[in-house]
Chains A and B, each alone.
Chain A
């Protein structure tokens, strides 16, 4: 299995809703990432998990809450979002880089989120 699977593929939510995005990989990668991508723009890093612990939070608003319950699963909990949060949310994974090795990421297909 060489894929990162994201569900759902599309999500429409109101500003008062609570929803979650899910990301799963079975490649044994111990680093996982959430990115936000606006149309025709590069992905912007939100969070990095390394060995199931949060290692980077790029000053993301608290209405986004990540969770890594095990080495294969990464969630992004959403609450009280704003319309400007509408975007493509990409999950990625990689082996944790070692000094003599480094890797590109494996990305999922993303969740297209629309906040109304």
Chain B
């Protein structure tokens, strides 16, 4: 079974600074997808960034980028120029590459990020 581990329950960052959120995972699959989701107090889960395991290049989306280390099974999220609106709970998630809807999205426990003005 796949597992996703986020070992830091909370982190804090100064506005405009950079912060890195850690995530490790365990799987026996070779093809899979990794995601970071953001859940602000408004409750909606928002997809921040996605990484395909077969791609060596790290994904980036504006101020968000990942450091994907496939051999180490590590998938960290870097947030640059942190903004107050980045304060939220962040979940790392895994889904194996497959056909059909029966491939589940497995979440880590999440990390609460606070941004200091």
Q: Give A contacts to B, CB under 8 Å.
A: 30-31, 40-43, 45, 48-50, 55-56, 88, 90, 92, 94, 96-99, 102, 104-110, 112
Q: Which residues in B have their C-beta under 8 angstroms from that of A98?
A: 99
Q: B-side binding surface: helix, strand, loop or mixed?
A: loop
The answer to whether A99 and B99 touch across the interface, beta carbons within 8 angstroms, is: yes
A-B contact count (CB 8 A): 76
Docked CA distance A106–B52 (Å): 18
The answer to whether A56 and B104 touch across the interface, beta carbons within 8 angstroms, is: yes
Closest to B110 in A: A42
**Given the contacts A56-B102, A97-B103, A104-B50, A42 and B108 also touching, CB distance less than 8 Å:** yes
How many residues of chain B get a CB closer than 8 Å to chain A's CBs? 29
The answer to whether A45 and B43 touch across the interface, beta carbons within 8 angstroms, is: no
Q: Which residues in A have their C-beta under 8 angstroms from that of B47?
A: 104-106
The answer to whether A109 and B42 touch across the interface, beta carbons within 8 angstroms, is: yes
Q: Which residues in B have their C-beta under 8 angstroms from that of A41?
A: 109-110
